């Protein structure tokens, strides 16, 4: 225990002060010992800060008289004790903490509705879209504490019987900027990371452009929607064909790709799984892997969300001929062809 080391060090330093030295020297040694002791304790306190929560939780669990606590997977299972409510019958059920790291328009909205259709999952949405929560490291970490202690409520919160609690976090929401502190927090608290990216970044680009156009065009009877639940709505939204900036196209794709690789590198030391939207669409059994990763009882997961840009990409880009010409023969040529059947 770091605290014990603090006390021990302080003690020895004081004991070592020689008895029969001149008063001034004795004073000097004493002051030195006190400064050193104080400094060491400060450092120790700083280091234990993050561990304190987990320790507290364990203590609280003992008080709850939980039997059969699964410690084999420490630190990845938790027994949170929310300040705002009691977990009642599920107090002794282990909870896993997760974060979905993704980028806008990469299928994370759909993925999250799938996850939330599980009775034991609370994935609380894009909580860091609120700027105050990501304005500095301390507000990020205290927001994380709130989520993982089940004290942040959203429409997705299942409270008592959550077996996995988390949220989705876009790379541009403070995640890359404060990655060092966040990785440290994730590893100390045992937060599992679900990366969700899109293989076809050109499709992502179309979706980003169309979505930001709709922000002011409001194609659905005067309302802006980022996700839709019917084919009529999907058709209405996909009728708008964005023009892709041909000058910056290749550079834009490169930048997106670089950001994804950077994120994978930054968070490589965490417990993680890497998912691609296209793979999940083609093969729903991939969701079984996700449930396993989160230690959930396996369930059939469903989402009401409907894909907006279906079919060939050539249907969805106004200056398709130009884009096609630019990307042919580049490493991004594959983006032109990949297609969906559904």
Ligand X SMILES: *[C@@H]1O[C@H](CO)[C@@H](O)[C@H](O)[C@H]1NC(C)=O
**Binding residues for ligand X, how many (CB under 6 A)?**
24
Q: Which of 9, 93, 188, 303 binds ligand X (CB under 6 A)?
A: 93
**Of the candidates 3, 70, 184, 289, which one interacts with ligand X according to CB under 6 A?**
289
Asked if 321 touches ligand X (CB under 6 A), the answer is: no
| Residue 120 sits in the site that holds ligand X (CB under 6 A) | yes
Report which residue's Cβ sits closest to ligand X: 161
Q: Tell me the window of 166-174, 208-216, 256-264, 283-291 that interacts with ligand X (CB under 6 A).
A: 283-291
Count, in order, helices (H) and strands (E) of the chain.
12, 6
Smallest separation (angstroms) from ligand X to the CB of 288? 6
Angle, helices 2-15/23-63, rounded to nearest 10 degrees: 160
Q: Are 102 and 171 contacting, i.e. CB atoms less than 8 angstroms apart? A: yes
Closest approach of Cβ 333 to ligand X, in Å? 21
Q: How far is the CB of 90 from ligand X (least distance, A)?
A: 5
Among 220, 264, 273, 281, binds ligand X (CB under 6 A): 220
The Cα–Cα gap between 185 and 252 comes to 31
Choose, by CB under 6 A, the member of 49, 52, 226, 283 that binds ligand X: 283
Residue 161 touches ligand X, criterion: CB under 6 A: yes
Instruction: State which of positions 125-154 bind ligand X (CB under 6 A).
Output: 132, 135-136, 138-139
Nearest to ligand X of 161, 176 (CB atom) = 161
DSSP reduced 3-state for 29? helix
Cβ pair 132, 89 in contact under 8 A: no
Q: CB under 6 A: which stretch of 36-44, 61-69, 101-109, 241-249 binds ligand X?
A: 241-249
Task: Rule CB under 6 A: say whether 61 interacts with ligand X.
Answer: no
Task: In angstroms, give the least distance from the CB of 139 to ligand X.
Answer: 4
Place of tokens 């609120």: 130
Closer of 17 and 213 to ligand X (Cβ): 213
What is d(CA 200, CA 215) in angstroms, rounded to the nearest whole number? 23
| Residue 313: how many other CB atoms lie within 10 Å | 21
Q: Residue holding tokens 């234990």?
A: 48
7: tokens are 């006390």
Cα distance between residue 103 and residue 276, in whole Å = 12
CB of 268 to ligand X, least distance (A): 21
Q: Does 73 bind ligand X (CB under 6 A)?
A: no
Q: For 218, phi and psi rounded to 5 degrees?
A: 45, 65
How wide is the angle at C-alpha 247 spanned by C-alphas 246 and 250, nearest 5°?
Answer: 80
Task: Report the distance separating Cα 214 and Cα 207, nearest Å.
Answer: 10
**Dist. CA 336–CA 330, nearest whole Å:** 11
- Which residue's entry shows tokens 């903490």? 97
285 near ligand X (CB under 6 A): yes
* Residue numbers at the binding site for ligand X (CB under 6 A): 90, 93, 119-120, 132, 135-136, 138-139, 161, 163, 220-221, 232-233, 236, 245, 247-248, 283, 285-286, 289, 297
């Amino acid at each position: 225990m770091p605290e014990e080391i603090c006390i021990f060090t302080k003690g020895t330093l004081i004991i070592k002060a020689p008895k029969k030295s001149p008063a001034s020297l004795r004073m000097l040694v004493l002051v030195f010992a006190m400064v050193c002791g104080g400094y060491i304790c400060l450092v120790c306190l700083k280091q234990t800060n993050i561990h304190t929560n987990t320790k507290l939780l364990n203590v609280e669990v003992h008080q709850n008289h939980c039997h059969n606590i699964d410690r084999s997977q420490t630190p990845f299972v938790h027994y949170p004790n929310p300040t705002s409510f009691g977990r009642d019958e599920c107090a002794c059920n282990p909870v896993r903490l997760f974060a979905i790291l993704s980028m806008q328009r990469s299928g994370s909205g759909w993925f999250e509705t799938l996850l939330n259709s599980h009775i034991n999952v609370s994935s609380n949405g894009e909580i860091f879209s609120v700027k105050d929560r990501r304005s500095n490291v301390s507000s990020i970490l205290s927001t994380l504490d709130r989520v993982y202690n089940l004290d942040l409520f959203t429409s997705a919160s299942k409270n008592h019987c959550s077996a996995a609690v988390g949220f989705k976090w876009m790379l541009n929401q403070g995640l890359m900027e404060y990655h060092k502190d966040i990785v440290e927090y994730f590893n100390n608290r045992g937060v599992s990371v679900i990366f969700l990216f899109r293989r076809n970044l050109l499709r992502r680009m179309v979706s980003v452009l169309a979505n930001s156009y709709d922000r002011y065009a409001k194609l659905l009877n005067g309302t802006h929607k980022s996700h839709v639940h019917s084919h009529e709505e999907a058709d209405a939204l996909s009728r708008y064909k964005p023009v892709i900036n041909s000058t910056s196209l290749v550079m834009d794709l490169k930048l997106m790709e670089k950001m994804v690789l950077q994120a994978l590198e930054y968070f490589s030391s965490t417990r993680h799984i890497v998912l691609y939207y296209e793979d999940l669409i083609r093969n729903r059994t991939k969701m079984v892997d996700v449930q396993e990763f989160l230690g959930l009882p396996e369930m059939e997961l469903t989402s009401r969300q409907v894909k907006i840009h279906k079919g060939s990409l050539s249907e969805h880009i106004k200056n398709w001929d130009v884009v096609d010409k630019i990307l042919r023969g580049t490493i991004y040529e594959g983006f032109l062809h990949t297609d969906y059947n559904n």
